[in-house]
């Protein structure tokens, strides 16, 4: 049967995760002892938390790249319009001189 962690236990684990998201064996045992949990519960919590952290980081990276792409695309489209405008200005001049 699965036991839910208390709010205090989760907060303690979150603070510990912020300090270091990897879990050395001695630290795992100490955290388990401090929280009244099994070392395996602490290890699984850290494993799950790292997975959530990685997913969030990927989402942030994607959003940043998407924003950069959108900016670059808008700049590129603007340059294409400017090029077309300049071409239109230059083409009539070519015909006049010929």
- Environment class of residue 92 by beta-carbon count within 10 Å: exposed (0-12), middle (13-18) or buried (19+)? exposed
Q: What is the pTM of this model?
A: 0.67
Half-sphere exposure of 9 (CA within 13 A, CB side): 16
pLDDT digits (tens, 9 = 90+) for 54-73: 999 999 999 999 999 999 99
CA distance 53 to 18: 11
pLDDT given for residue 90 in this prediction = 85
Predicted confidence band at 95 (pLDDT cuts at 50, 70, 90)?
low
Question: What's the whole-number mean pLDDT along residues 8-18?
Answer: 96
Q: How far is CA 10 from CA 4, 7, 46, 69, 84, in A?
A: 10, 5, 11, 38, 60
């Amino acid at each position: 049967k699965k036991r839910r962690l208390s709010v205090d236990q989760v907060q303690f684990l979150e603070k510990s995760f912020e300090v270091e998201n990897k879990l050395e064996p001695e630290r795992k045992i100490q955290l388990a002892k401090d929280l009244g949990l099994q070392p395996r519960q602490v290890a699984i919590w850290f494993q799950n938390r790292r997975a959530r952290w990685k997913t969030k980081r990927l989402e942030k990276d994607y959003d940043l790249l998407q924003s950069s792409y959108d900016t670059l695309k808008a700049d590129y489209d603007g340059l294409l319009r400017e090029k077309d405008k300049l071409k239109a200005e230059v083409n009539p001049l070519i015909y006049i001189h010929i």
